[in-house]
Amino acid sequence: MKNIVILFVLMLLFSSAINAQNRSVKKSSFTPEQQATLKSKKMALSFDLNKNQQKSIYKLILKNAKERKVIRNQSRLRRQSGKTKSQVKHFEFENNRLDRQLAYKKELKNILTEKQFEKWDKTAKRKNGKRGMKSTRMNKKLKRAFHKSNSSQKQQNRFKI
């Protein structure tokens, strides 16, 4: 019995050590320069960018990566201090995030050709669609509930004279 317990404890220790090693290398552990280099090279491969476009995209991605790092550090400090976001601050954060996305898209549109931008837009929509599966299901439920309530109101109105 003792051997089984000792074996179980050893297995737990080894498995936690292995998991800790796997988690050590993440995208967020790259510096903003490394992130910009990798992402700009991926975009160069996907969209057949010329050298000037690659340099411009690198600068744009680098600027955004540095902004994200600052924002991530601020939120990490807030979480460590135990402060929570109020509804107003959350709204401001989301509003600023969307403004940054619009600015990024606008700058990207200036750098890429029309054909390249259309291809980027399609891939961006596809990526966002994968993340939004839960919200899509929720929207479908809300639409069904809305149609049910409308149809019941129509039936009630039909019977009124």
**146 Cβ contact partners less than 8 Å away, ≥ 6 residues apart:** none
At residue 153 the predicted structure's pLDDT band, cuts being 50, 70 and 90, is low
**CB-CB contact of 57 with 36 (8 Å):** no
As a dihedral over the C-alpha atoms of residue 127, residue 128, residue 131, residue 134, rounded to 10 degrees, the angle is -140
**72 Cβ contact partners less than 8 Å away, ≥ 6 residues apart:** 28
pLDDT digits (tens, 9 = 90+) for 72-128: 888 888 777 777 778 888 888 899 999 999 999 999 999 999 999 999 988 888 877
For tokens 């600015």, what's the residue?
Answer: 103
The DSSP secondary-structure symbol of 59 reads H
For tokens 């955004």, what's the residue?
Answer: 64
Token duo for residue 17: 């050590």
**CB-CB contact of 39 with 61 (8 Å):** yes
For tokens 């498995």, what's the residue?
Answer: 15
The one-letter amino acid code at 155 reads Q
Q: Taking residues 137-156, what's their average pLDDT? A: 61
Which one has a higher pLDDT value, 108 or 25?
A: 108
pTM of the model: 0.60
